[in-house]
Amino acid sequence: MRINIILNGRNIQAETAPDELLIDFVRKQGALSVKRGCETSNCGLCTVFLEDKPVLSCSVLAVRADGKRVTTLEGLKEEAEQFGAFIADQGAEQCGFCNPGFVMNALALFRENPDPDEEEIREYLAGNLCRCSGYEGQLRGIQAYLRWKKEAAAGRDTPPDKK
Amino acid sequence: MLTIREYKRAESLKQAWQLNQQRGSRIVGGMLWMKMQRGTVQTAIDLSDLGLDTIEETKEAFRIGAMVTLRQLETHPGLAQYTGGAMKEALRCIVGVQFRNLATAGGSIFGRFGFSDVLTVFLAMDSYVELYQGGVVPMEEFARQGADRDVLTHILVKKTPLLFHYESVRNTRTDFPVLTCCGAFSPGKESCRFALGARPGRAVIIEDKEGLIDGGITPRKARAFGAYAAEHVPTGSNMRGSARYRSHLVNVLTARTALQLQETSGSFV
């Protein structure tokens, strides 16, 4: 069956099978940041935005995305790089495998709640597993990024160490 | 792995029901649990186009469409207010936001899963399911039945004046619960109704039939009611905990929830 999706702003029309999962569909379209980490809908690595909401692309049928907007890390390059620099500054990640899903969901959090406190950050990102770290570095990176955004908004633009 | 031969977006409830009468048909909710299963689905029926993704709130009740996501339930201001935060507390530990943006209210209830936080919190409320053929059925009755080929279209929650408190124990934050407990307390009538789930079987209701907490809940009465619940709620063992451990949790969570309800009702007087 043929479906139409808007993938990262681009109209895509392609064949899919009734049981093809969105993760496999978008990977075939070149969105290789989207990866499988667990096969049990638990790790958050395959996170994409479906109509701007973060979802597990490993658990949605591609046909369900027919006529809808799908955004992957490839479509959020600038924002992701900016935020990723703060995570790197903290040396938060070791292997980096969990990074695409983590960045996607963190960006979803910032859109939904631009000024989250520590508990809100932990709760929103609880579904993104990292097996190298204890999440402390990521938390510091997020808080540093949010401080920078606030200062930038207040007109005191201090750029991140790495850009 | 789950194999799906044919995918059909139902154009009406009647069509969904008709398709669902065929062997090998399955209605797809969020598909999160279904995806874990092996087997072949001949026709996957999708209810996405039937307008079942909204929560209608009136003065008397909530009417929740089957395709409403757990995240919608968790963030709905009216439900948060009515349940005193218990709805969010019941849902926030279910895997992650991305999971709860997919998992549906209807799928969670229709599956009558033993591990279900969702079933636990709805059982404590004055709630009902609306079925295409079967009409309106009380949640407690529905939860006891086996699966059939009817179509769950809505969940109804009457705004009966009740106070709620939710507790769960998990080995790790986003894991399945080892035990769930939702208490509902009617301050005027001094009556209470507790739902206990992840026993690991389906959630069941326990009421204070012996008047253990009559005349206001004190720590001593709460402990007595906890012990009563532990005696009357059947528990079993699985990899997350033994029956003995779970019965201990029934005791502790019931007593803790009762005390919390008393505290909340005190602040309401």
Query: Two tokens at B104?
Result: 């549906």
**Strand, helix or coil for residue B125:** coil
Check if the interface score ipTM surpasses 0.85. yes
Structural domains for chain B:
2-45 (no CATH), 55-158 (3.30.465.10), 163-268 (3.30.390.50)
Q: What is the DSSP letter of B45?
A: E
Residue B268: enclosing H or E segment and its boundaries? helix B243-268
* Per-residue pLDDT band at B125 (split at 50, 70, 90): very high
Instruction: Quickly name the fold that domain A2-74 has.
Output: Ubiquitin-like (UB roll) (3.10.20)
The residues, ordered by sequence, that sit 6+ positions from B152 with a Cβ below 8 Å of its Cβ are B66, B106, B109, B110, B129, B130, B131, B132
Distance from CA of A81 to the nearest CA of B (A): 22
pLDDT at B269 over 80: no
* Residue type for position B211: G
CB–CB contacts below 8 A, A to B: 75
Contact state of B31 with A54 under an 8 Å Cβ cutoff: no
Query: Two tokens at B162?
Result: 């009740």
pLDDT at B231 over 70: yes
Residue pair A28/A20 in contact by the 8 Å Cβ criterion: no
Residue A142 CA to residue A27 CA, distance in Å, equals: 28
The residues, ordered by sequence, that sit 6+ positions from A106 with a Cβ below 8 Å of its Cβ are A83, A125, A142
Residue pair A51/A69 in contact by the 8 Å Cβ criterion: yes
Average pLDDT over residues A24-45: 96
> What does the DSSP assignment read for A76-102?
GHHHHHHHHHHHHHTT--SS-TTHHHH
- Whether the upstream peptide bond of residue B200 has omega within 30° of 0, thus cis, is yes
Interface test with B, best of A20, A55, A124 (most B CBs within 10 A): A55
* Per-residue pLDDT band at A161 (split at 50, 70, 90): low
Q: What is the pLDDT of residue B190?
A: 75
Residue A162, classified by CB atoms within 10 Å of its CB into exposed (0-12), middle (13-18) or buried (19+), is exposed
* Per-residue pLDDT band at A120 (split at 50, 70, 90): very high
pLDDT at B205 over 50: yes
Contact state of A105 with B46 under an 8 Å Cβ cutoff: no
The residues, ordered by sequence, that sit 6+ positions from B267 with a Cβ below 8 Å of its Cβ are none
Residue B63 CA to residue A67 CA, distance in Å, equals: 28
Residue pair B203/B123 in contact by the 8 Å Cβ criterion: yes
Cα radius of gyration (chain B): 19
pLDDT at A162 over 80: no
* Per-residue pLDDT band at A133 (split at 50, 70, 90): confident
* Per-residue pLDDT band at A157 (split at 50, 70, 90): low
Give me the CATH code for the A76-153 domain, please: 1.10.150.120
Average pLDDT over residues B123-149: 97
pLDDT at B130 over 50: yes
Domain ranges within chain A, ordered by starting residue: 2-74, 76-153
B68-111 residue pLDDT tens: 999 999 999 999 999 999 999 999 999 999 999 999 999 999 99
Q: What is the pLDDT of residue A163?
A: 47
Residue B158: enclosing H or E segment and its boundaries? strand B152-158
Q: What is the pLDDT of residue B213?
A: 87
Residue B264 CA to residue B84 CA, distance in Å, equals: 9
C-alpha pair distances (Å), A55 with each of A5, A72, A128, B100, B130? 16, 11, 12, 8, 28
Interface of B with A in 134-193 (CB under 8 A): 173-174
Contact state of A123 with B92 under an 8 Å Cβ cutoff: yes
Interface test with B, best of A15, A41, A50 (most B CBs within 10 A): A41
pLDDT at B211 over 50: yes
Residue A143: enclosing H or E segment and its boundaries? helix A136-153
The proportion of chain A whose per-residue pLDDT surpasses 70, expressed as a percent, equals: 95
**What b/e string do you get for A31-68 counting C-beta neighbours within 10 Å, with b at 16 or more?**
bebbbebeeebbbbbbbbbbeebbbbbbbbbbbbbbee
Nearest CA-CA partner of B38 in B3, B73, B86: B3
Residue B110 CA to residue B34 CA, distance in Å, equals: 12
pLDDT at B54 over 70: yes
Phi-psi region of A73 (alpha: psi -120 to 50; beta: other; left: phi over 0): alpha
Q: What is the pLDDT of residue A83?
A: 97
pTM reported for the whole predicted model? 0.95
Q: What is the pLDDT of residue B214?
A: 83
The proportion of chain B whose per-residue pLDDT surpasses 70, expressed as a percent, equals: 99
